[in-house]
Every structure is written in C-alpha cells, then in structure tokens.
Structure 1
Amino acid sequence: MKSKNKFLALLVGLMMLLILAACGGGNDAGEKTTTDGPAESKSTGGDDGKSESTGEKRKVVVGGLFDLTGGTGDVGTPFAEGEQAFFKHLEKTGGIEGVTVELSGKDYAYAIPEAQKIYQQFRDKDKVSAVLGWGTGDTEALRQQVANDKLPYFSASYSENLKNLDESPYNFLTAASYSDQGRTIVKYIKDNHEGDNPTIALLYNDTAFGRSPIEDIKAYAAEIGVEVVDEQVIDVQATEAQSQLLNMEKKNPDYAIIQQTWAATSTILRDAKTLGIDTQFFGLNWASGEGVIDIVGADIAEGYIGILSHAMPYEDFPGIAEIEEYLKGEGKTLEDIDQKFVQGWTTAKIMAAGIEAAAKQTDGELNGEAIRAGLESLTNLDLGGLGAPVTFSADNHAGTEQTRLGIVKNGKWEQLTDYMSYKD
C-alpha cells in the first residue's frame, strides 16, 4: 500500500513540473523578455549604435559639474543651462540612434573639495562614462583621477596645462586655451598698434583660472616685442578695484588684458571710467559677453574689446537656427539666452558628437575608453558657426587654437575679427 502511495506522489510531482515548464514561456535562446513589450531585435552591426549582444539601446550617463552659486556663477549659470538644454534638445530630436544619453548635473559652488566629492558620486553611483566640468582648479585637481578612471573630461576651463597628454590623457579642450587667447590678443595689439612698441598690463584674480595664462602671455609678449609693464591681482568677486587701477596707471600701459568673469570685469571697467583711465581694455573669453554690458551699462562698456570664442545669439550662423528651434519649443526666444548659454550648448554638442562616433565604432559598452576613441576620431567638426571647428586625435586633445575678437558698439557686441590663430 505504501509503495502505491509513493508511486502516485511521484506521478503527481512529475505532472506539476511539466505544467510549470509549459507556463514559463522560456525559449532555447535565452532571450530577454520584458513586461513592457517584446525584446528589441539583435543588431547586425555597429552602425545603428545598438549592442550586438543584447539588441538593446546602450546607455551613456554624462556627469555635469556646474557652478551656479559660487564665485564664477555669473557665467557658470548660463553655461550650465546651455549644456542642459542641448541634452534636452538631443532627446526631443531623437538623440543618437541606438543610444540613450542622460546628463546628471550638480552645483559644486566653485569649491574644489565639493567637486572631488561629486565626481566620485558620478563615478561610483551614477556610473558616468564622461564628464562635463567647469573650473580650472577643480579640473586640474581631478585630471589624475580622471586618467585613472578613464573618463573623458570636457571643461569650461581652457587651461594650457590640459594640453599635456602625459599628465591629462583624458582631458579635452573644446576652444582655444586661455594662453592661446592671450597670445592672439597680444599679436593683434602688436599688428595694430601705432607708434612705439606697445605696452600692456595684466589684470587677473588669484585662482588657478586667473593665473592660468599669465606666464604664457608674458613669454609670448617678450618674444614679439610687446612689453608687459604691470600686473595687478583683483579678486574674482571684487566690487572695488580703484587701488589696483591707480597702481596700474603709474606704469601708463597702452593696453590691459583682463582674465576674470563678468562681475570683476565690470568692476574694472567702471572704476577705470571713474578714474579717467584711458587704457584700452581687452578681455579673455569669460570676461566677454552680454553680462558686462548689462552690469556697467552701454556707455562704460563702449569700445571694450574681448575674445568671442563662441557665437552671440543674434549672429546669423546655421548653428543658431538649431538653438532657436529648441527655444521655440520651450516657449522662449533667442533674447532669453546669452553667449555663455551658446558656449555651454556647443560644449555638450561636441561631447555628443564623440559619443555618436564611439557608437559607430563599437558594438560593445560605450565606456570612457570607447568615447575617448570616438572623440579622437573627430576631424574639423563643423559647429555651424557656434565656435571654431574642432579636431582631436590620439596625439592632440586641444580642439583648436583659433579664436576671434569682438568689440562693444552702441551697447552690443560686434565681431571685430574672423576666427584666427596667433600663428597666422
């Protein structure tokens, strides 16, 4: 009797296993199933950006270090808004085929320790494959870590130090370095000055950003016969600069080059006007843009010359039309943005081009190494006039040496020169 009961129990158990197997819906190939719908087809190649092994869209997370509330937040905020807007535009327009791209951005308030903390969160928690950074100090502090982690790093810093691939193998410059900008200004002064050899002063803040181009500018000026007669250190958030300007006036320079952001630049121009100083002021790229005019007014800004590394929103370039179309969808117009927004948009656009190139080069994971290779394949990337075309290679991560100058006329920036290099 007991044997018969055991036999019946085994038979019932076997039947239950067969029923469960039939309901499982599995397949011999082990394909992934989802509750949202059928699994995507496997890719037959890398051109559509899909993973050949899974057929699913690959995901790239880009970290964004923003200065919204720190010492350079005056220009950092519109720059970050431009980066964020580009990724939103990318999503709206279909993005990169076969690739989902996300931007994870955080405000680090221009504090290097906070930048290091957030970077580690990007790497360990968000699993980013690339980073859009901001300041010179934090970018230079992170470059060894970035290299170890193999994460391509764009920065709003254009420090000459980042050109050194031995020390910064994963850093890329998307515009002319501060040093190249300064050299271009010195060359322009030399070529256009009338009379005896020109003299210049250098006005900068005591940060890695402020100091970055100073020695290179001095060396190049000496090389081409332009004398640097004075240097003055002015805080990046200075609201008064009369004492420094009075000291500068004693040396009577023909020209002064400013390495600041909008706020301190405006202080310098305002106090120079108050003191009746007639030196011609030039600014590097963060010392240029609409914010200077907005702060000091058109009368004081009139005749001020600066680096226009990127397009003004009202300039007639093909790339501006793309931004205008995006803004229209947001219920905004070009009047709602400024040049630093365009600069941020353009930086993100170059990063996206590198990710797209990487997606075409490999069917595997779009990690930092793959994106670096994608960026290094970009040659003469046309930005639609938003900035000078950029070229990267395995031997050169400085996208361009070219920049241009603009001048304030009747309360508006106008192009003074085409894109050019001091080597021209």
Structure 2
Amino acid sequence: MRKTTALRVAAAASTALLLATACDSRRGDDAQGTAADGACKGEQTTGITDTTIKLGGIYPLSGPASAYGTISNGVSTYFKHVNDKGGIDGRKVEFVVRDDGYQPPKAVEEARRLVEREKVFALFQSLGTPSTAAVWDYLNERKVPQPFVATGASAWGTDDKHPWTIGWQPDYVSEARVYAKYLKEEKPKAKVAVLFQNDDFGKDLLGGFKKAVAGSGIEVVAEESYEVTDPSVSAQMTSLARSGADALLNVTTPKFGSQALAADAKNTKWNPLHIVNNVSSSASVLEPVGFKNVQGVVSATYFKDPADPQWADDREMKTYNEALDKYAPDSDPTNQFNAYGWAAASSLHKALDAMECPTREGLRDAVRNLKDVEVGMLLPGVTLSTGPDDAFPIETMQLMRFKGERWQLFGDPVDTRKEFGAPGH
C-alpha cells in the first residue's frame, strides 16, 4: 500500500493542530444520538436519530478553485428533493456546508467545527486532495466517516490505515490510464507535453500516465507545473509549445484549465491534440474560452452530461432538472458540477440505505461493501463496487470529444479495474 510523502506531511501537520485542541468526547457525543437497535449498541450515533441525519461538507466556495463550489449546490438540491419525498429511510437530511477557500489550514478549522460543534454524522464530500489530506488523520482518529471525498487521489483507495475515508470518483491514476490507452491506439508515437498542478492531484495523474505509457512508443517530452496561487499559466504554456509536442495533457483545476485552453487556442503555430482532465471538463471551464476554440478537445467522464440531448428523456435527468428548477432556480442545470454533486449525493443515499446499523460504523462498512450498485446519474455500465481488497467505488470511464457546443461520448466504456487492476497493486 502506498501513501505519498506530501500526503504524510499535510496529514501530520494538520493532525498536530487538530488533536492539540480536540478532546476525546466520542462517548459524550454518542449519548446525544438516538440509541440504535440491540445489535448496534455501543456504536456511534452522533448526528443521526430516527428522524434526522446531519451531514457536513467542505468546499472551496471562494478562492482559486471556487468553480468547484457549485458541487455543493447539486448535493444540497438532491437532499432537499429527497427530504420532500420523506427523507432517507424516514430521516430528513441536514447538509451543513463550510468554505475552506481551497486552503488546507482552513479545511482543518472547518472539519473541527463540523465534528465538534455541529456534531455531524459524517463529513461528506470534502473537496480537493490537499484539503482532504489535511483532515483525514483527524477524522479517522475520531472515527468520523469521510465518505466519497471529492478528489481522485489514489491514496484514498490504496491506504489501509484510514478505514473511515474513501473516495468516489475514478482515481487520477485510472483516469490517466484511459488517456494512455487512447493515445496508444490513436497516436502510438505521440510526443506529449504536460501541464500539471504542483501537488498530489497533479503528480498522481502525471505519475499514472507515465507508468501507463512506459515501454510504448509514446514519450513525455516536456513538463511544466504551476502553483494554485499563481495568477496564470501563460508562461508554462509558452514553454510547452516550444517542445513541439503533438499532444498536450492538461492536468489542471478549472481556473487554470480555462487559461491553458485559451493559451492553446491563441497559439496558431502549435496544434497539439489537447486532452483535458475530467475535473476541468465542465462547460463552465470551456465556455469562457469560446466553444469554437475548444473543438476536438478530448476528455473522459463517468456521469451523464446534463447538456447532452441524448439524456433529455432520461428519468434521472428529468428528476434532476425538475429539482434544480424547484430548489435552486438560479442554478444552471447544464453545469456539470451540479450534476456531479447530484450523482455523489445519490451514491451516498445508496450507501446509507445499505447500512446494517444506523451508526457511523454502519456507514463506514457500507461504503466498503458495495456490489455493482446502480446510480441514476452515472453513465450506463458505470456502477459502484467496493470490497475487502478494492476501495475504489468507480473505475469505469468513457472518452468524450468536444464538438459544436457540447461533449460527445465515443468508444466503449473502459473498466480500468478489469484492464489494468487497481492502482497501487
């Protein structure tokens, strides 16, 4: 099992801060929940009663990654819709959202607030690899579930010392393998330039890509990194263009994804095949660049695009659109981050339904024992599956190409679990 050095540093620093101020109040917390049935006595019921369940989420509602904040809107809309239908197993969901500005120290502060003051049942959807790494030691020490974190770092599935934390989306190593497979088939002699965020997110995907193309005719000829505090990536893009690469792997968060796409469009002397990672594939990233300037860009996905007319008559998509219209009328239903949030919340609903005990331990076990669970907003052929030796819920993706004003799926879904095995094994 592996765990990156950067994750260790972030986790150690944040744990020291958190545990220095946290008291061992688990027993006191448990007393505030409703007693579970006999078989579940002694397990943590903080944040859950017979009629309510309280969840917390940490998102960058401000700062350089604020585009991701829209995800919380999709999550909140789903829970409001479910509450009006009677809740989850009769329990109404309260979803408490906190803003960390994409800053790990702030994530530490907000995690402590949600656990110790708000007394949430679980911390659902902490967003970003740095922020999640900053709080997972604390949450696992306190035995607070951290299900379906909004980051594809492979550490959430390969680390066996944090059983209370698990990812949701395809991990970055698996995503990288999908792009490598595509290039091997379409451009087997490709020379690749890579722009990546200088943290565990960027390094995870880049490392996975390099391993996946090792021994093939594909070569990474140039790499440029950026910091989340940088104002732009124009200098990096200028440097990458000098490489003469015929393919560009764009491993960025939304703000920088837009900048890289715009820089590529302006440089008429360089015309690489542009692959943008999934987290920067939303229309909200592409539209500012101008749809005419992103034609032919390639990415991969695993959930339904609300802007794709092929899903117009899809039952789940209809429910999603109706719910957004009712509970968040100012929201853009075609924004993929809204759909992402809806899909993640729906996945948690499935896990909560599967709990043998309505306890924190019950949720911890449920998310690690999913067997081909279907979720309406996921693409056909994509299901949730986990087990004793597999902590990666989603490992199937399908390639897509931007054409006209939307993404178009192409090829067959790629089950990376079957083709490559789990990352880190």
Return the TM-score normalized by structure 2: 0.80
**Alpha-carbon separation, structure 2, partners of 1:301 and 1:239:** 22
1:279 pairs with 267, 272, 293, which one? 272
In 2, Cα distance between equivalents of 1:399 and 1:318:
23
Alignment correspondent of 1:112: 104
**Amino acid aligned to 1:281:** H
* Residue 343 of structure 1, aligned match among 340, 343, 353: 340
Q: Is 2:324 the counterpart of 1:369?
A: no
Counterpart for residue 135 of structure 1: 128
* Matched residue SS, 1:320: helix
Tell me by how many angstroms 1:86 deviates: 1.1
Residues 99-143 of structure 1 show CA distances to partners (whole Å, capped at 9, x for unaligned) of 332211111111111111111111112222211210101112222
Unaligned runs of 5+ in 1: 1-41, 47-55
Matched, 1:246 2:246: no
What letter matches 1:347 in structure 2? A
Seen in structure 2, the aligned counterparts of structure 1 residues 225 and 248 have a Cα distance that, compared at 3 Å, is same
Match of 1:163 in 2: 157
Give the aligned residue type for 1:189: L
**Contact kept? 1:171, 1:397, Cα under 8 Å:** no
Among 322, 326, 338, the residue aligned to 2:323: 326
> Which segments of 5 or more consecutive residues in structure 2 lack a partner in the other structure?
1-34, 40-48, 420-425
Q: Whole-Å Cα distance in 2 between the matches of residues 241 and 128 of structure 1?
A: 39
Q: Hey, what does 1:389 align to over in structure 2?
A: 383
Match of 1:257 among 249, 259, 265: 249
1:302 to 2:299 alignment: no
8 Å contact from structure 2 (residues 54, 121) kept in 1: yes
1-structure distance, mates of 2:230, 2:407: 24
Verify the 8 A CA contact 2:170 2:393 in the aligned structure 1: yes
The answer as to whether partners of 1:318 and 1:385 remain within 8 angstroms in 2 is: no
Task: Give the superposition deviation at 1:44.
Answer: 9.6
- Separation in 2 of the partners of 1:240 and 1:43? 53
Match of 1:407 in 2: 401
Once the two structures are superposed, what CA deviation does each residue of 1:307-346 show, in whole Å capped at 9, x if it has no partner?
2232211341432122123134347499544111111111
Distance across 1 between alignment mates of 2:199 and 2:337: 21
Matches within 5 A, 1:11-410: 57-74=50-67, 76-132=68-124, 133-153=126-146, 154-193=148-187, 197-236=189-228, 240-276=232-268, 277-315=270-308, 316=311, 317-330=314-327, 332=329, 336-358=333-355, 361-362=356-357, 366-387=358-379, 388-410=382-404
Aligned partners of 2:284 and 2:385: how far apart in 1?
A: 30
SS in 1 for 2:169: coil
RMSD: 2.5
Amino acid of the residue matched to residue 409 of structure 2? Q
Instruction: Answer whether contact 2:58 2:100 (CA < 8 A) is retained.
Output: yes
Letter in 2 for 1:72: A
Asked if the contact 1:320–1:386 (Cα under 8 Å) also holds between the matched residues in 2, the reply is no
User: Residues 80-115 of structure 1: CA distance to partner in whole angstroms, max 9, x if unpaired?
Assistant: 111111111110111122333221111111111111
Counterparts of 2:328 and 2:107, CA distance in 1? 33
Q: Describe the SS at the equivalent of 1:267.
A: helix
Query: Partners in 1 of 2:177 and 2:261 — Cα distance?
Result: 22
Aligned length in residues: 367
After superposing on structure 2, the runs of 4+ consecutive aligned residues of structure 1 that deviate more than 6 Å are: 42-46
Tell me, yes or no, if the aligned pair for 1:237 and 1:264 is still in contact at 8 Å. Answer: no
How far apart in 1 are the matches of 2:185 and 2:209? 16
Contact in 2 for aligned 1:319/1:383 (Cα 8 Å): no
Q: TM-score, normalising length from structure 1?
A: 0.80
